[in-house]
Amino acid sequence: MEFYEVINKRRSIRQFVDREIPREVLERILDAGLKAPSSNHQRRWELVTLTDKNIIMELAKFIRPYPCRIGEPKTPQQEMFKIAYPRQRTMMEEAACVILPYFKQKYPLSEDKNGYGLMDYGAAWALVENMLLAATAEGLGSVVHIPVKKEPEQIKDFLKVPDGWALPALVVLGYAVKDPLLPTQVKATVENKVHWNKW
C-alpha cells in the first residue's frame, strides 16, 4: 500500500472478527517495528507475540475495562471514551494477536532527572507506531492498550518477563468487523497545529 494511504487509513479499531492472521503477515509487521529508530542504536527490544487464543484469553483477564458513564457524547473525546472504555478487555479477547514490545529500561521514568529515560520510552513508541502502520498496510485493524495500575506487574508475572524490561503498550491486532465504531476525529492539521519559525 502507498505510504500516505497507510497514514490516512490507520484508525484505532476495537472490534475484531474471529479470524487468524497468517504468520508471514505477522512477521512483516514485527519486522517493520524492528526497523524503527532506537535512541542508543541497540534496539534492545523483546517482542512477546501472542497468537495462542488461550493465552490471549488469560491475558485479557488482567485488563480492566474503564468505567464509563457517558450517555449521549457531546464531544469527539466523549465519543472515544464511550467506544473505548468498555472495550479494553473485549478488544483483547477478540484479537487474533497481541504483541507486547518490552524495552530494556536503563533509566526509570519516575526518577528521571536528566531526561534520558524518555529516550528508551520514546524509541519503544516508534517501534509501536511502525507496527500499527504496518498492520494497516496489511489490511488489519489495530489498537494499543496502555497497561495501567496493577496491569504491568500482573502481565510481567503472567508472562514470566525478567526484571529490567518495561512495557510501553500492548499492540492489539485483528481483522476489523464491518463498520467498526469510530469516534469523530478532533481537527489536527498543518493549519491549526503548526507555527512556522516562531510560536
Partner 1 sequence: MEFHEVIEKRRTSREWTDKEVDFEAIKRRIAAGMKAPSWDHCRGWQLIVLHEREEKERAFAYAKAAATA
Name the site residues for partner 1 (rule: CB under 8 A). 1-4, 6-8, 10, 12, 28, 32, 35, 37, 76-77, 80-81, 129-130, 132-134, 137, 144, 146, 183, 186, 188-190, 193-199
By C-beta, is 18 or 199 nearer to partner 1? 199
Q: How far apart are CA 13 and CA 133, in angstroms?
A: 13
- Residue 94 and residue 16 in contact, taking contact as beta carbons nearer than 8 Å: yes
* HSE-CB of 96 using CA atoms within 13 angstroms: 20
- 171 contacts which partner out of ligand FMN, partner 1, none, CB within 5 to 8 A by kind? none
By C-beta, is 54 or 192 nearer to partner 1? 192
Q: Is 146 in the site for ligand FMN (CB under 6 A)?
A: yes
**What is the nearest approach in angstroms of ligand FMN to the Cβ of residue 196?**
25
Q: How far apart are CA 154 and CA 63, in angstroms?
A: 10
Site mask, ligand FMN, residues 68-87, x = CB under 6 A? ------------x---x---
For 146, the 3-state DSSP assignment is coil
Non-local CB neighbours of 47 within 8 Å, separated by 6+ positions: 30, 33, 34, 99, 100, 101, 102
Q: Is 145 in the site for ligand FMN (CB under 6 A)?
A: yes
- Residue 113 and residue 99 in contact, taking contact as beta carbons nearer than 8 Å: no
By C-beta, is 48 or 143 nearer to ligand FMN? 143
By C-beta, is 104 or 122 nearer to ligand FMN? 122
190: left (phi over 0), alpha (psi -120 to 50) or beta: alpha
**What is the nearest approach in angstroms of partner 1 to the Cβ of residue 154?**
21
What residues line the site for ligand FMN (CB under 6 A)?
11-12, 14, 80, 84, 88, 143-146
